[in-house]
Chains A and B, each alone.
Chain A
Amino acid sequence: MTRPLRRVLVANRGEIAVRVIRACRELGIESVAIHSEADAGAPHTVLADRAECVGPPPAAQSYLDIRRVIDAARAAGADAVHPGYGFLSENPAFADACQRSGLVFIGPPAPVIERMGSKIAARQVAGAAGVPVVPGLTPADQREEGIAGAARAIGLPVLLKASAGGGGKGMRVVRLEAELAEAIGAARREAAAAFGDGTLYVERLVERPRHVEVQVFADTHGGIVHLFERECSAQRRHQKVVEESPAPGLPPALRARMGEAAVAVAREAGYVNAGTIEFLVEGLGEDARFYFLEMNTRLQVEHPVTEAVTGLDLVHLQLQVAAGAPLSFRQEQVTQRGHAIQCRIYAEDPDAGFLPQAGRLLLYREPDGPGVRVDAGVVEGSEVTVHYDPLLAKLIVDAPTRAAALARAITALRQYPVLGIRTNIPFLVRLLGHPAMQAGQIDTGFIEREAGALTTRPTPAAAAMAVAAAAAVTGTAEQWARRDPPARDPAQLDPWVRLRGWRN
């Protein structure tokens, strides 16, 4: 039975809110943005058909406040809620509150979020589906002694994680007994701050693993497909930086088994809508093994690389499935074509320990061209505040081969000036040019190990100093503007680009 969605409240901010609002518009669905007082002029707020303020800048009093978000949906007359990723997207209480308020939650049912959000229950589901898991547990005794005891029982090194969420928040590697106490305290505080739940999970640390995940999609009629894998091994502090599809060097037989395993887990979980099964891959070539890591019961930050290689629009699919429509294609009709790479553009200074940066974007110009997509939550002049995640935008490129995609990504990054605050763009240029990245041979510890080479800012080039000198004597920008009409970016000098929107 289908029930067309008429008006969707997007319970998020930044690039993903913009992404979902655009998709709604394309499908003739009205969109409602929510925003904090700090985001009243933010792109997602401006773009939506309607906007509701949900509170002061701190996320806990606005984007994370279930009652305020539900009230906003009611006030705006929404009939459905898209949670995006992060914030309330994996909070079963929120999905439940939506349902009880007569709102369609665009995602899986609350009990499925709850089960797959619990690392213990998710592992049981994976086990029941016949998929291998990494040894680990959530200690019943959550006091420091209990967590430390579990870490010793599993054997160091271990990984401490927030039981309630992902994204690297509340995650700590512990290699030495002496580090346990401080790591437990820090992981618990970060977990509590990010997810409102300080419960910790302790897991055996797999050394030099690759992080490969499989996108799944399920409708409400029993149809389940996988949309191939994404390689997400380029991480710093357990936060993904670069994602790609296909995963380089993954043996075809292993890829096929992982796809089947992902569908089996989703089926066992009673899954509906977009989800991701994360795997750790240990070893190389034919000896490689994979373990179920966890399931993300939402759309992922890196979904665009899957869109690029499959030609599917995942947000459109989410909206259609949420309206009760069956998937319009079968597994054997889905193909993985070409190669796609996503770079996350963060407001952070890699040369200062990836410290988050706040301030105004004095100059912000996005690259474009064939095979180049930018999903951004900011525009020139945007003020980046300390209240939210430092993800500014995502650059997604696709090309027929991995080598061509890497070259396209580097070219685009070099045409992506973001000035006024430090970003990781220069770091990304260095990372994509690194021989190990070029060879497709990196594991999740690569960035940490190579941090020295990747994060060292070179001494200012003579050219950069000369450029500054030239800009210094041309007077202020306003004086120059009066003197001559503004010129354009090189990309915009090409008449075929400039006449974008014309058809011939």
Chain B
Amino acid sequence: MATVTEARVNGGLYTVTADGRLMRVASPAAGAGVDILTNYLGHGWLLLLVRDGVRQPAWVAEDGARRWVYCDGEVTVVELAAPAGTRRRPAAAGGLGRLTAPMPASVIRIVAAPGSRVAHGDTVLLLEAMKMELPLRAPHDAIVRAVHCQAGDLVQPDVPLVDLDPLA
């Protein structure tokens, strides 16, 4: 017996009609439905897209509210709508006045000390990850208000490392 469920992916609404392993996914935006055969792999999914009788594999991994999809040689990461009552992930802490690490990294050197003036594009902080140097550069002319790390620290992404006061 078929069941009909709605899913929100990257903000778009999809209607999924499931009948055993076979699913038909339709969305107003994507037009005609896509037929999908689902198979569980153990820690992930192997889905077979069926188009005009031709099958194409797609692999899916669960990552909280995210889904990682490998299909047709490309990786796509999508966000599912959060279930009611759960809070959305806070936006990245980096913003106009803050510098954050793009990935877990270690701090090699503080280039600009608190109180110093930096120009747009100047390196403020030097990070290193996987033997590569990652300079954190000033996104605009600014005065360094505070530095929240020191050389040798292991830092995580989305955590403010440097506060900047933008210069008009």
Q: Show the binding face of A for B, using Cβ within 8 Å.
A: 169, 186, 189-190, 193-194, 347, 352, 355-358, 362-363, 365, 380-381, 385-390, 410, 413-415, 417-420, 422-423, 425-426, 429-430, 457-458, 460-474, 476-477, 480-481, 484, 486-490
Contact = CB atoms under 8 A, between A and B. Distances in A.
B7 A425 contact: no
23 contacts: A356-B129, A363-B60, A365-B41, A386-B154, A388-B130, A414-B72, A415-B57, A419-B61, A419-B75, A420-B61, A420-B68, A465-B9, A465-B14, A465-B78, A466-B27, A467-B25, A468-B76, A470-B25, A470-B47, A477-B43, A480-B40, A481-B42, A487-B39
Contacts of B130: 347, 356, 358, 386-390
Contact of A472 (B9, B59, B75): B9
A391 B44 CA distance: 23
A169 B41 contact: no
Interface in B141-160: 154
A419 B44 contact: yes
A293 to B, nearest CB: 21
Nearest to A381: B43
Given A463-B56, A469-B16, 4 more contacts: A417-B70, A420-B68, A486-B40, A489-B46
B47 to A, nearest CB: 5
B23 interface: yes
B131 interface: yes
A349 to B, nearest CB: 9
Contact of B36 (A385, A461, A470): A470
A386 B43 contact: no
A362 B68 contact: yes
Interface string B77-92: 0101000000000000
B34 interface: yes
B-side interface mostly: strand
B168 interface: no
Contacts of A417: 44, 59, 61, 70
Contacts of A420: 61, 63, 68
A363 B131 contact: no
Interface residues of B, number: 61
A463 B129 contact: no
B19 interface: no
Contact of A389 (B43, B78, B106, B131): B131
B8 to A, nearest CB: 8
Given A419-B68, A462-B30, A487 B74 contact: no
Contacts of A388: 130-131
Given A362-B63, A470-B23, A481-B42, A464 B58 contact: yes
A362 B27 CA distance: 28
Interface in B14-55: 14, 16, 18, 23, 25, 27, 29-30, 34, 36, 38-47, 49
Contact of A469 (B7, B74, B106, B132): B7
Given A189-B108, A490-B57, A466 B14 contact: yes
Given A463-B58, A465-B10, A467-B69, A193 B131 contact: yes
B43 A469 contact: no
B95 interface: no
Contacts of A189: 108, 126, 133
Contact of B76 (A418, A425, A461, A488): A461
A341 B69 CA distance: 26
B49 A463 contact: yes
Contacts of A413: 73
B126 to A, nearest CB: 8
A343 B36 CA distance: 31
B104 interface: yes
Nearest to B134: A355
A194 B59 CA distance: 36
A419 B77 CA distance: 9
B67 interface: yes
Nearest to A430: B73
Contacts of A465: 9-10, 12, 14, 27, 30, 76, 78
